[in-house]
Amino acid sequence: MNEFDEFIKAVIETAIDDNTTCSELLAESDKVYFKLKVTPKDGVGNVRELNVFYPSDSSHQNSIEHKKELNEYLEKGSESSSFISQTVLKLNSEIDSFIQSQEFRQTIYLK
């Protein structure tokens, strides 16, 4: 996992609640992703899944281009650039929306 992957996982773990778990980094063809599993709060019903996909080449590119900002976020939680802020906002919004919804399965694609 590079700094960008660690950043995505850190944002996800901040956004999820106690009924949601996040996998380690997974790979599928030219994409990498994290799988979130949401268990019903009352324990009744099916586990729901949210996949957060992004291209593996953009992971490496973002890790190189935004290394300083990614490290600042990982070390201090600092959103020091619009790239970091926009990614945090998008992920938080999408994850919150899915957790509140009744959808069984959903996928988020980051660029």
> What confidence tens digit (pLDDT) does each residue in 4-49 have?
999 999 999 999 989 899 999 999 989 999 999 999 888 777 899 9
What is the pLDDT, as a whole number, of residue 111?
A: 80
CA-based nearest residue to 36, from 9, 71, 65: 9
d(CA 96, CA 82): 21
For the chain, what is the domain count? 1
This model's pTM is above 0.85: yes
Q: Cα-flanking dihedrals φ and ψ of residue 45, to 5°?
A: 115, -175
d(CA 2, CA 16): 21
What is the pLDDT, as a whole number, of residue 95?
A: 94
Its domain, for residue 24, covers 3-109
What is the pLDDT, as a whole number, of residue 99?
A: 86
pLDDT, one tens digit per residue, over 71-110 is 999 999 889 899 999 999 999 999 999 988 888 899 999 9
What is the pLDDT, as a whole number, of residue 103?
A: 87
What is the pLDDT, as a whole number, of residue 53?
A: 97
